[in-house]
Structure 1
Amino acid sequence: MHLRAPAIVLAVRSHGEHGAIVRALTPDDGVQPGYVRGGHGRALRPVLQPANAILGEWRARTDDALPGLTVELLASRAPLYSEPLAAAALDWVSALTAAALPEGQPYPQLYAALDGVIAAVEAAPAARRWAVALVRYELLLLAELGFGLDFSECVATGATQDLAYVSPKSGGAVSRAAATGYEARLLPCPAFLRDGGGAEWGDVLAGLGLTGHFLERDLLHGRAADALAARERLVDRVRRAVA
Structure 2
Amino acid sequence: MEWRDEGALLSVRRHGETAAIIEVFTAGHGRHAGVVRGGTSRKIAPILQPGAQLDLTWRARLDEHIGAFTVEPLKSRAADLMSDRQSLAGLHAVTALLTFALPEREAHPRLYARTIGLLDMIGATEVWPLAYLRWEMALLDELGFGLDLSGCAVTGTVDDLVYVSPRSGRAISRGAAGEWADRLLPLSPAMTGTDTYDVAQVLAGLGTTGHFLVAKLAEAMGNRPVPEARQRLLDLLARAG
Q: How does the TM-score come out when normalised to structure 1? A: 0.93
2:67 counterpart residue number: 67
Mapping of 1:183-194 within 5 angstroms?
183-194=181-192
Gaps spanning 5+ residues in structure 2: where?
Answer: none
Q: Which AA in structure 1 matches 2:228? A: A
**Cα distance in structure 1, aligned partners of 2:94 and 2:185:** 22
User: How far is the alpha carbon of 1:182 from its aligned partner?
Assistant: 2.4
The equivalences for 1:7-26 within 5 A come to 7-26=7-26
Matches within 5 A, 1:89-104: 89-104=90-105
Mean CA deviation greater in 142-151 or 156-165 = 156-165
Answer with 192-201 or 162-171: which moved more: 192-201
- The one-letter amino acid of 1:67's match is G
1:201 Cα offset (Å)? 1.5
SS in 1 for 2:151: strand
Give the structure 1 partner of residue 198 of structure 2: 200
Q: What is the Cα deviation at residue 98 of structure 1? A: 1.1
Aligned partners of 2:181 and 2:14: how far apart in 1?
47
- Identify which of 172, 179, 191 aligns with 1:174: 172
**What is the root-mean-square deviation in Å for CA atoms of aligned residues?**
1.5
Residue-pair matches, total: 238
Report how far residue 196 of structure 1 moved: 3.9
Partner of 1:233: 232
In 1, the alpha carbon distance for the partners of 2:109 and 2:238 equals 32
Deviation at 1:224, TM superposition (A): 4.7
* Structure 2 residue matching 1:164: 3-state secondary structure: strand
The equivalences for 1:27-106 within 5 A come to: 27-77=27-77, 78-106=79-107
Letter in 1 for 2:204: A
Aligned match of 1:154:
152
Secondary structure at the counterpart of residue 35 of structure 1: strand
Q: Tell me which moved more, 77-86 or 195-204.
A: 195-204
**Using the alignment, how far apart are the partners of 2:41 and 2:214 within structure 1?**
34
What residue identity is the alignment partner of 1:114? T
- Once the two structures are TM-superposed, the CA of residue 42 in structure 1 deviates from its matched residue by 2.8
**Is the alpha carbon distance of 1:121 and 1:224 closer, same or farther for their aligned partners in structure 2, counting shifts above 3 Å?**
farther
Retained in 2: the 8 A contact 1:216–1:228?
Answer: no
Instruction: Determine the structure 1 residue equivalent to 2:110.
Output: 109
| Partner AA of 1:205 in structure 2 | L
* Deviation by residue 1:125-166 (Cα, 9 ceiling, x = unmatched): xxx310111011111111111101000111122222111010
What amino acid is the match of 1:176? Answer: R
Q: Is the 8 Å Cα contact of residues 36 and 68 (structure 1) preserved in structure 2? A: yes
Deviation, 1:52, is 0.6
Counterpart Cα distance in 2 of 1:42 and 1:168: 49
| Contact 1:34/1:67 (<8 A) preserved | yes
Residue 3 (structure 2) aligns with: 3
Look up the equivalent residue of 1:148 and give its one-letter code: G
- The one-letter code matched in structure 2 to 1:174 is I
Distance apart, 1:223 and its partner CA: 5.7
TM-score, scaled relative to structure 2: 0.93
Q: Which moved more, 1:28-37 or 1:85-94?
A: 28-37
What's the % identity of the aligned pairs? 44
| CA apart distance, 1:233 | 0.4
Unmatched 5+ stretches in structure 1: none
Q: Secondary structure at the match of 1:150?
A: coil
Query: 2:51–2:91: 8 Å Cα contact kept in structure 1?
Result: yes
How far 1:45 sits from its partner (Å)? 1.9
Contact 1:38 1:44 in 2 (8 A): yes
Worse-matched range after superposition: 148-157 or 87-96 = 148-157
